[in-house]
């Protein structure tokens, strides 16, 4: 595979519309310079499997110094009252979530990794003072039942739900690439999630890329830290 050694920051999202907010900064082809930084943005795929494979391919192609995942998420009710629609959050913990395990009808095998923490230095630098730290649950499917949403958030001690965060973060950890996760709240998790997401995903997605754009304009502090 062609390897581009001229990327400092790789910004990824599950699908292309969530990167649209970066076009005014790095161009319609989502590849450009911000000051001295070389920035590329790519959609890596929707869902755990697609996002893991897509992230691995993007990292192999661009050899970035760091990765930032952007997108939208749902907030679990009963967790944090300050997470309004449009609020941007950053992940400090990401848990792989199984509703079967939450309900005591399944279990992860002991060697299987189910918790990951994004790079703390990079996360703090991207978040600044505007994007509070949250715990993210990555589920295989969108949680559409209100009672189940409450159980998942409580049992896993998670604040928001996002379908790709664990896959992208684990791939970066395996490849020793620092990652930060920046998400805009588009809905409450549960029975109204899909309708709310359709109404608010564009604003929430723009909010997440606005935070990343501000960080890039500031010189992307933390981008050259490699763990």
- Token pair listed for 148: 């189940």
**Integer Cα distance of 106 and 99 in angstroms:** 8
108 phi/psi in degrees, rounded to 5: -80, 140
31 phi/psi in degrees, rounded to 5: -155, 120
User: Is it the case that residue 224 has pLDDT exceeding 70?
Assistant: no
For 168, residues 6+ apart whose C-beta sits below 8 A from its C-beta are 12, 44, 51, 52, 55, 67, 69, 179, 181
pLDDT, one tens digit per residue, over 147-204 is 999 999 999 999 999 999 999 999 999 999 999 999 999 999 999 999 999 999 999 9
pLDDT, one tens digit per residue, over 54-113 is 999 999 999 999 999 999 999 999 888 779 999 999 999 999 999 999 999 999 999 999
Predicted local distance difference test score (pLDDT) of residue 80 = 85
Helices (H), ranges, 72-164 = 99-102, 120-127, 146-156
For the domain 9-217, what is the CATH code? Answer: 3.40.50.1580
**Integer Cα distance of 67 and 64 in angstroms:** 7
Higher pLDDT, 225 or 139: 139
Query: Which sequence spans correspond to the domains of the chain?
Result: 9-217
pTM for this structure?
Answer: 0.94
Mean pLDDT of the chain: 94
């Amino acid at each position: 595979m062609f390897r581009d050694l001229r990327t400092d920051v790789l910004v990824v999202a599950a699908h292309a519309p969530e990167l649209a907010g970066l076009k005014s900064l790095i161009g319609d082809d989502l590849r450009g310079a911000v000051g001295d930084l070389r920035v590329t943005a790519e959609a890596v795929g929707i869902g755990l499997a697609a996002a893991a494979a897509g992230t691995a391919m993007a990292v192999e192609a661009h050899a970035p110094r760091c990765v930032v995942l952007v997108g939208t998420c749902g907030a679990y009710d009963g967790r944090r009252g300050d997470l309004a629609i449009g609020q941007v959050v950053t992940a400090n913990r990401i848990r792989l979530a199984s509703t079967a395990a939450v309900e005591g009808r399944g279990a992860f095998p002991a060697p299987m990794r189910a918790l990951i923490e994004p790079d703390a230095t990079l996360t703090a630098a991207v978040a600044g003072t505007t994007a509070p730290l949250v715990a993210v649950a990555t589920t295989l499917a969108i949680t559409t039942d209100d009672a189940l949403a409450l159980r998942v958030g409580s049992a896993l001690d998670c604040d928001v739900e996002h379908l790709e965060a664990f896959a992208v973060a684990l791939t970066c950890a395996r490849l020793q690439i620092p990652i930060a996760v920046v998400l805009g709240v588009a809905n409450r998790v549960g029975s109204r999630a899909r309708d709310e997401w359709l109404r608010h995903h564009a604003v929430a997605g723009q909010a997440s890329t606005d935070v990343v754009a501000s960080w890039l304009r500031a010189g992307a502090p933390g981008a050259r830290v490699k763990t």
